[in-house]
Structure formats: structure tokens, C-alpha cells
């Protein structure tokens, strides 16, 4: 969408904006059909923190690149497959209670949220302005499908 | 697809003596002939020159009547050959030997056939796991070995296939998937070949699977019967579960069973109920944490004995039920000897199915004692959503799967042991296929009574008393094997295969440091006039994942699988 509209009338701009919005909506809808239109559930800072926590507490079993080791891969089509049918809520509630395997539940609530943000990022979900909170994560029926 | 990282067997110069190449007889090679494995040979596997099944014979003693290697000369044991496999996950497989063929499985379901004398690789096979997420595999991507019948070798895989291969060529004869992968079930055990059948069990007690024992036609893979561990309403035991919960009740059957020919009974250990938190499923939760006695023709349950009622501590009852005779208080019994995860050593009368005795072999508080021959638990040590408990042993058990050996000459059972306790507390849980279903959090810690992480112990099976105890700073997570040479073999986490004097526990031989720690059971076999001892090194398995405080103690252990075969000079 061009932003070089300063010379055009307000009316044209409005029209244009509306068209843009419509087009965007249509595009999103299309993508949504194909892949479930991922909402932005976390902030970039959360994912970045999550990366650090992951390296410290998870990588030893799941691999530095989440490729899997003694624990399963945590990115890609084998992890978040359509067939597996995971939701954000399920993965969050599982990992915040049962992981890391050698000390389940031992991290802080904040770290678990950051890890969830990192997993979302690594599976193709966009970052945004909203901070992922425990309320959002444990109520989220958003499908977790690698994209 | 083969990702075995070593093209050639690697031989070593140990103690300055070049061995393998010079000592290997150059006569007949393995390719020359594969002796068919008949039911008659399997029935007499105890005295066979090879090592034909998981625990050597149907009784599961893992005792070989060979005496070439014995207490007097074991100090001279040296390397015959070795083979570097690589792969950094755990190696839990028992080498299986028939004639000059030796078969081992590796992590991620590869199978390698060797010439048992020279170490030459005859063929390799790798199950294609490319589409498997390995999601519902709790305790490392292990495999515990093969079964032999006729001209075939059989393995069970992480994606729930039973694969039959031609033992000479490695060509797949048939394969059959029993359940889809990644939704609860996985298979890691060595199958059992019996009466023309291949019998397997499933893992999945941590994922709300409904586990089972299944028999397949050894020639075709056709299902002959399947017996679920958790009964449906209306079936015997069905009323020991709250409504519908048998469907996600676990009862995994992840270790190979034994077979008693005198009563024609298949004995199979059953694992923990799911979810772990017992308050979610009031009742005895049959037939979890039990030994079940099945009719091998039909799979019908004849009887059972439950080691841990209404378990809330993940005390799988899967450990090998060894069939042996013993004399207790002057009376002779045909008995099952079983060292349970819950820390108790059980002797069970094979005729009456009643307890003969039970003694603690590890610090055990959750199961507090026995009344009228049945175990009772300390209910104050049951976790709830609001109560954290401290109890012993940890869910990893007084021992985990590492099999015991029973020596009929010393009348002792040799028990790999770990000394751990744990904190445990209930936690919110939900069932979702493909995710764990536990309902508890936990932390494995030191046993306050014994700050060593492990031991190999000997108990007199006639009295239930401890005869010797070889303590170890590190956990003892390798299986045991005994021989008529008066020896017990087992391996250590820091990479030594040890030979003990079976009567006294004195260490008579210690291998040089192997490439990695040992979690597999050793085996022994004879080819021609020579006796060999074989062991896989390759650390991994459940302890370094779930071991809590113990994880640190084993974190330094080098990884990478290698097969070692020893003999006398």
C-alpha cells in the first residue's frame, strides 16, 4: 500500500484506505482458510527472553534449534501438525506444569510465558504489541500449527 | 536409510596386545549358515551355545551354564572385537546370538547383524522414522533388542511396527503397525518368540494410552490376540476404574515377559496407571502395576498379583518376572522372583499365586508393608493437588528396567539398584492425545539413608536376605548376567564392564574404560570352543532425562554407542 497519497484528496484517501482494508481483510481471510490466520499473541521481547530461557533449560533435551533430541522436536510439521491438533492452551499448560523434565514446574510463571512466546515464534506465529499473559495463554484455543 | 556412523569395525590395541584379527578363527564365517531357531531350541535356550532371547531363556534367569571364563581366569579377559556405532542416544539392547550371527538394535530402531566371531557387519537395517514425531516416547529413543524364530529376526519399533526380517539377509519379510505413532503408544521392548507367535507389549503409561499385550503369527504378522491391561466395564476388574477412565488408564507392558512351560503360562509385567495422580481415578485400577498370567493360546488372563495398589508414584510393575525354584522356611516352591520399582523384592508362588515373601531391597516408604500377603500403602505419602509428599523410592524406582539375574547355583538374585527418593505433588492435568498425562510434579533427590546413587546387590532367594552390596557413587543402571563360571557381569555408568565373584561380590575383573556408560545388559555365548561376553556401551535412557538431582551426577558421561566383545586370550 502506497503512502504517497499526500497530494490526493481526503476523499480519495478514505476510499483508498477502505479498499486497502477490504483487500487486506480478503487476503487475511484467504490465508486464514489456508492456515488459520495467526493472531499476534506475544511481544518480540518475550520471544527473545524465551530464547535465552530455552537455551538454559530446554535445549539440552530438545536441541538448540528445537530439532529434537531425547525430547521431541518443538518446531516444524512433526511437532505442530494438523493431525496432532494442539492448541496454545494445551501446550502452555503442559509445559508450564511438566517441563523441564528433570525439574517440572521449577521455572517462574514469567519464564514459562516467554518460552511459550518463543515456541510460537519458532512455529511461524507473528509477534505483536500484546504481551502474552497467563490468562491469555491458558485460555487460548488458537490452534498451534506450524506455518 | 542408514545413519550408522562407522563404516568398518574398529579394532583396538589394548594393553599393547593386538587381538581380534589374530585370534579370530578363519574357518566358517557367519554367512555359511544360519541355524533355524525352532520352538524346541527356544525351549532349551538356557543351554544353547547362543543367546537366543532377551533374558536368555523363557524363565528369564539370564544365567548361562558356561564355565570357560570363570573366577580363576576372568582377570585375563580381553577384547576380541569392538564396533563403533556412534549415535548419542541410549543403547539398551541385549545382543542376541544364534550360531555365528549376533544381532543388536540401536536407538531409533536400527538393527545390525554381525559375525559373532570376527565382528564383521553382515547387514544393517533402519526403520524409517522420518514421519514420526517421537512425541510419546518418554525415556529416550531406545530399543531393547530382537527375538528370533525360524529364519527370521523380529523387532518392535518406536512407531509401533513389528518388523520381521530375514536373519541372513536383513530383507523385510513382513511388517505390521499395531497402532499409529505419536498418540500415546510406542514400542521399545524386545519381542518374545513363543510357539510360532511373536508377542509384544507397548509403552504409553505417561500419555493416557490403553496398553496391551499382543500376539502375532510369526510367519505372517497376523494378529492372533490382544489383551488390554485395563479392563472395560463388564470385564473382570472393570469395576476397579471410575467411569471411562480405563480408556486412558495406561498399564504399559514395555518389557519382555517370561513363560512357564509347566503351567503353560505367559507372565507379563504391567506398568503404572494413568494419569499418575491417583486421586483422579479411585479404585484398585487393575491390572496396572501387576504381573499378569496369560494363556498364551488365547491371551486370556488366568490370574494376577498387584505389586502396588492404586499407584500414585509411577511404580511400573514391568520388571522381569523371573521363574525359579526356591526353598523358604524348609518348603520348596516354584516361584516368581521380581524386584519391583516400588523398592520391594517379591517371591510369588507360581502354583497358588500367593506371596511367599517380600523384602525391601531399597528404601521404600510408599508401599509400607504387607498384610495377608498383599501390599498396603502409606496413605499419608499419597500426593494430592494441595499436598506435597516426600517418599521413597522415586518414580524411577528402587531399580528401573535393568534386569536382574538369578543364579541357580548360588541361589542369589543380582539386583541393579538406585538410591533415590522424591518430592511429589498433584498438578492440574488434562488428556490430550500426543501429550503426557501425569497430573503431578516431582523432583528426584538423594535417598537420605544412602548418599550413593546406586548399587549392585545380591539377595539369597531362599531367605530374602542381602548377601552382598556393591555400592556406587553413580546410579547402577545396567542389567545383570550370571554364569556357571561363578561370575556375575554388569556395567557401570562410567564405562566399565565388571565381573564379580557371584558368591562374595568381589570385583575380579574390570574392563578398560569403554567409549560410554553402560545401561544395557551383558550376554555371553559360545562359538566353537570359545566363550564370549558381549556388551553395548552407550549412555542415555531415562535417568539423565528424569533423574532430577541425579542428572548432574551423570551429565559428564561421554555419549556414543559401541559394541564390545570379550574373550580369554
In this prediction the ipTM stands at 0.84
Q: A92 and A51 share a domain?
A: yes
**Tens of pLDDT along B254-311?**
999 999 999 999 999 999 999 999 999 999 999 999 999 999 999 999 999 999 999 9
pLDDT at A37: 72
Q: Is the pLDDT of residue B383 over 50?
A: yes
Q: A21 and A65 share a domain?
A: no
Q: Which of A59, A63, A68, A70 to mutate to test the interface with B (most CBs of B within 10 A)?
A: A70
Contacts of B417 (CB under 8 A, 6+ apart): B361, B362, B398, B399, B454, B455, B456, B457, B476
Q: Is residue A35 assigned to a domain?
A: no
Q: Is residue B147 assigned to a domain?
A: yes
- State the residue range of the domain holding B89: 9-67+76-568
pLDDT at B32: 61
Q: Is residue B182 assigned to a domain?
A: yes
pLDDT at A38: 85
Nearest-angstrom CA–CA distance, B354 and B346: 10
Q: Which residues of B are less than 8 Å from A68 in CB distance? A: 134
Cβ–Cβ below 8 Å for A81 and B133: yes
Q: What is the pLDDT along chain A (147 residues), one digit of tens a residue?
A: 333 333 333 334 444 444 444 444 434 433 333 455 789 999 999 999 999 999 999 999 999 999 998 899 999 999 999 999 999 999 999 999 999 999 999 999 999 999 999 999 999 999 999 999 999 999 999 999 999
Q: A107 and A132 share a domain?
A: yes
Nearest chain A residue to B437 by CA distance is A94
Q: Is residue B1 assigned to a domain?
A: no
pLDDT at A8: 36
Q: A69 and A2 share a domain?
A: no
Q: Is residue B51 assigned to a domain?
A: yes
Q: Which residues of B are less than 8 Å from A134 in CB distance? A: none
**Tens of pLDDT along B410-427?**
999 999 999 999 999 999
For chain B, what is the mean pLDDT?
A: 94
Output the CA angle B542-B548-B549, nearest 5 degrees.
125
Terminal Cα distance for chain A, rounded: 25
pLDDT at A36: 56
Sorting pLDDT into bands at 50, 70 and 90, what band is B33? confident
CB B363 within 8 A of CB B343: yes
Q: Is residue A87 assigned to a domain?
A: yes
Q: Is residue B162 assigned to a domain?
A: yes
Cβ–Cβ below 8 Å for A78 and B429: no
Q: A75 and A134 share a domain?
A: yes
Q: Is residue B3 assigned to a domain?
A: no
**Tens of pLDDT along B86-136?**
999 999 999 999 999 999 999 999 999 999 999 999 999 999 999 999 999
Cβ–Cβ below 8 Å for A104 and B429: no
Q: Is residue A39 assigned to a domain?
A: no
Q: A22 and A81 share a domain?
A: no
B-contacting residues of A 17-76, CB under 8 Å? Answer: 61, 68-73
Q: Hey, is B16 helix, strand or coil?
A: coil
Cα distances (angstroms) measured from residue B336 to each of B297, B405, B413: 21, 12, 12
Torsion of CA B509, B510, B512, B515, to 10 degrees: 130
Q: Which of B108, B134, B181, B519 to mutate to test the interface with A (most CBs of A within 10 A)?
A: B134
User: Closest to A90 (Cβ–Cβ): which among B134, B435, B441?
Assistant: B435
Q: Which residues of A are less than 8 Å from B443 in CB distance? A: 103-104, 106
Cβ–Cβ below 8 Å for A94 and B436: yes
Q: A21 and A48 share a domain?
A: no
Q: Is residue B13 assigned to a domain?
A: yes
* Grid cell listed for B390: 516426600
Cβ–Cβ below 8 Å for A72 and B443: no
Residue A101: alpha-carbon gap to chain centroid? 23
pTM, full prediction: 0.91
Query: What's the total number of domains in chain A?
Result: 2
Cβ–Cβ below 8 Å for A93 and B545: no
> Which of the 8 DSSP states describes residue A46?
H
Nearest-angstrom CA–CA distance, B408 and B530: 23
- State the residue range of the domain holding A120: 44-139
Q: Is the pLDDT of residue B22 over 90?
A: no
Q: Which of A104, A105, A119 to mutate to test the interface with B (most CBs of B within 10 A)?
A: A104
Q: A18 and A51 share a domain?
A: no
Share above pLDDT 70 across residues of chain B, in percent, rounded to a whole number: 94
B-contacting residues of A 74-93, CB under 8 Å? Answer: 78-79, 81, 84-86, 90-91, 93
Query: What's the total number of domains in chain B?
Result: 1
Q: Is residue B2 assigned to a domain?
A: no
pLDDT at A30: 38
**Tens of pLDDT along B485-544?**
999 999 999 999 999 999 999 999 999 999 999 999 999 999 999 999 999 999 999 999
φ and ψ of B142, to 5 deg? -90, 165
pLDDT at B28: 52
Burial of B298 (0-12, 13-18, 19+ CB in 10 A): exposed
CATH number at residue A124: 1.10.760.10
Q: A113 and A63 share a domain?
A: yes
- Mean pLDDT of the region B362-389: 98
- Mean pLDDT of the region B464-490: 98
CATH number at residue B466: 2.140.10.10
Q: A17 and A49 share a domain?
A: no
Residue B274: alpha-carbon gap to chain centroid? 21
Q: A26 and A49 share a domain?
A: no
B314 is catalytic: yes
Q: A128 and A68 share a domain?
A: yes
Amino acid at each position: 500500500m502506497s503512502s504517497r497519497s499526500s497530494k490526493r484528496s481526503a476523499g480519495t484517501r478514505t476510499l483508498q484506505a477502505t479498499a486497502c482494508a477490504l483487500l487486506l481483510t480478503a487476503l487475511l481471510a484467504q490465508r486464514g482458510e489456508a492456515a488459520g490466520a495467526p493472531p499476534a499473541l506475544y511481544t518480540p521481547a518475550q520471544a527473545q527472553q524465551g530464547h535465552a530461557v530455552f537455551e538454559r533449560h530446554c535445549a539440552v533435551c530438545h536441541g538448540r534449534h528445537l530439532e529434537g533430541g531425547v525430547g521431541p522436536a518443538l518446531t516444524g510439521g512433526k511437532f505442530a501438525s494438523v493431525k496432532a491438533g494442539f492448541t496454545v492452551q494445551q501446550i502452555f499448560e503442559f509445559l508450564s506444569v511438566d517441563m523441564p523434565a528433570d525439574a517440572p514446574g521449577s521455572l517462574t510463571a514469567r519464564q514459562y510465558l516467554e518460552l511459550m512466546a518463543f515456541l510460537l515464534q519458532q512455529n511461524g506465529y507473528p509477534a505483536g504489541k500484546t504481551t502474552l499473559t497467563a490468562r491469555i495463554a491458558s485460555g487460548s484455543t488458537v490452534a498451534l500449527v506450524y506455518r | 536409510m542408514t545413519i550408522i556412523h562407522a563404516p568398518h569395525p574398529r579394532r583396538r590395541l589394548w594393553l599393547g596386545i593386538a587381538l581380534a584379527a589374530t585370534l579370530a578363527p578363519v574357518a566358517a564365517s557367519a554367512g555359511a549358515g544360519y541355524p533355524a531357531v525352532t520352538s524346541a531350541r527356544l525351549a532349551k535356550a538356557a543351554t544353547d551355545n547362543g543367546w537366543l532371547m532377551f533374558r536368555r531363556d523363557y524363565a528369564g534367569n539370564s544365567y548361562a551354564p558356561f564355565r570357560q571364563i570363570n573366577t580363576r581366569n576372568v582377570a585375563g579377559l580381553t577384547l576380541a572385537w569392538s564396533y563403533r556405532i556412534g549415535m548419542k542416544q541410549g543403547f539398551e539392547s541385549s545382543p542376541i546370538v544364534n550360531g555365528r550371527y549376533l544381532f543388536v538394535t540401536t536407538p531409533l530402531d536400527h538393527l545390525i547383524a554381525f559375525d559373532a566371531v570376527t565382528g564383521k557387519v553382515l547387514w544393517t537395517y533402519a526403520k524409517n522414522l522420518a514421519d514420526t514425531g517421537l512425541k510419546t516416547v518418554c525415556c529416550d529413543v531406545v530399543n531393547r533388542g530382537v527375538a528370533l524364530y525360524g529364519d527370521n529376526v523380529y523387532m518392535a519399533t518406536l512407531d509401533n511396527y513389528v518388523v520381521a526380517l530375514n536373519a541372513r539377509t536383513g530383507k523385510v519379510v513382513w511388517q505390521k503397525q499395531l497402532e499409529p505413532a505419536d498418540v500415546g503408544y510406542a514400542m521399545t521392548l524386545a519381542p518374545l518368540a513363543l510357539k510360532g507367535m511373536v508377542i509384544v507389549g507397548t509403552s504409553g503409561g505417561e500419555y493416557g494410552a490403553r496398553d496391551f499385550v499382543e500376539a502375532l503369527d510369526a510367519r505372517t504378522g497376523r494378529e492372533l490376540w490382544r489383551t488390554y491391561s485395563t479392563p472395560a466395564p463388564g470385564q473382570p476388574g472393570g469395576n476397579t476404574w471410575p467411569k471411562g477412565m480405563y480408556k486412558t488408564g495406561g498399564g504399559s507392558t514395555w518389557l519382555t515377559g517370561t513363560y512357564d512351560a509347566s503351567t503353560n503360562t505367559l507372565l507379563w509385567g504391567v506398568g503404572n496407571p494413568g494419569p499418575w495422580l491417583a486421586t483422579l481415578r479411585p479404585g484398585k485400577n487393575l491390572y496396572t502395576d501387576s504381573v499378569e498370567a496369560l494363556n498364551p493360546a488365547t491371551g486370556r488372563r488366568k490370574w494376577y498379583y498387584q505389586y502396588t495398589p492404586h499407584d500414585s508414584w509411577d511404580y511400573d510393575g514391568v520388571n522381569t518376572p523371573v521363574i525359579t525354584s526356591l526353598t523358604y522356611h524348609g518348603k520348596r516352591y516354584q516361584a516368581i522372583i521380581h524386584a519391583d520399582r516400588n523398592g520391594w523384592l517379591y517371591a510369588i508362588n507360581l502354583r497358588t499365586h500367593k506371596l511367599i515373601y517380600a523384602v525391601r531391597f531399597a528404601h521404600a516408604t510408599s508401599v509400607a508393608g504387607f498384610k495377608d500377603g498383599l501390599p498396603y500403602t502409606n496413605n499419608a505419602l499419597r500426593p494430592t493437588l494441595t499436598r506435597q509428599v516426600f517418599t521413597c523410592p522415586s518414580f524411577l524406582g528402587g531399580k528401573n528396567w535393568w534386569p536382574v539375574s538369578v543364579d541357580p547355583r548360588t541361589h542369589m538374585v543380582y539386583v541393579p539398584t538406585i538410591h533415590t527418593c522424591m518430592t511429589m505433588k498433584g498438578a492440574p492435568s488434562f488428556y490430550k492425545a500426543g501429550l503426557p498425562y501425569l497430573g503431578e510434579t516431582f523432583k528426584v533427590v538423594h535417598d537420605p539413608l544412602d548418599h550413593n546413587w546406586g548399587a549392585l546387590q545380591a539377595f539369597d532367594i531362599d531367605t530374602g536376605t542381602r548377601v552382598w552390596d556393591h555400592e556406587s557413587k553413580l546410579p547402577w543402571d545396567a542389567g545383570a548376567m550370571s554364569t556357571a563360571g561363578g561370575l556375575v557381569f554388569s556395567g557401570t555408568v562410567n564405562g566399565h564392564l565388571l565381573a564379580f565373584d557371584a558368591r562374595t561380590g568381589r570385583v575380579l575383573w574390570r574392563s578398560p574404560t569403554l567409549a560410554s556408560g553402560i545401561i544395557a545388559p551383558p550376554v555371553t555365548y559360545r562359538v566353537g570352543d570359545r566363550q564370549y561376553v558381549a556388551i553395548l556401551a552407550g549412555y542415555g535412557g531415562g535417568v539423565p532425562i528424569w533423574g532430577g538431582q541425579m542428572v548432574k551426577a551423570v551429565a559428564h558421561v561421554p555419549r556414543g554407542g559401541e559394541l564390545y566383545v570379550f574373550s580369554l586370550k
